[in-house]
Amino acid sequence: MQTIESISELRSTLSNHRSDSFQLGFVPTMGALHEGHLSLIRRSVKENDSTVVSIFVNPLQFDNVSDLESYPKVLEEDLSLIKECGVDYVFIPDEEEFYREKPLVSVNFGALASRLEGKFRKGHFEGVGIVVSKLLHLVDPDGVYFGLKDLQQYLLIKRMCADLSFRCEVIGVDTVRESSGLALSSRNRRLSDGGKEIAAVLSKALFQIEDDLLNGMSLPLALTKAQELCQITSGFDLEYLEAINTSDLSNVDNYEIGSELAVCIAGYVEGVRLIDNLYLRPK
**CB of residue 225 to ligand AMP, shortest distance in Å:** 25
Sequence-ordered strand ranges (E) for the chain: 2-4, 24-29, 50-55, 89-91, 143-147, 169-173, 236-244, 261-269, 272-280
φ, ψ for residue 280, nearest 5 deg: -90, 130
Active-site residue, selected from the candidate residues 17, 34, 37, 137: 37
d(CA 19, CA 94): 28
Residues that bind ligand AMP (CB under 6 A): 29-30, 36-37, 39-40, 146-147, 149-150, 173, 175-176, 183-186
**CB of residue 257 to ligand AMP, shortest distance in Å:** 26
**CB of residue 40 to ligand AMP, shortest distance in Å:** 5
For residue 128, give the nearest of 233, 191, 56, 194 by alpha carbon.
56
**Considering beta carbons, is residue 115 or 187 the nearer one to ligand AMP?**
187
d(CA 152, CA 251): 13
Q: Does the active-site annotation cover 37?
A: yes
**CB of residue 132 to ligand AMP, shortest distance in Å:** 10
For residue 56, give the nearest of 36, 83, 35, 75 by alpha carbon.
75
**Considering beta carbons, is residue 103 or 181 the nearer one to ligand AMP?**
181
**Considering beta carbons, is residue 142 or 212 the nearer one to ligand AMP?**
142
**Considering beta carbons, is residue 149 or 204 the nearer one to ligand AMP?**
149
The residues that are catalytic are 37
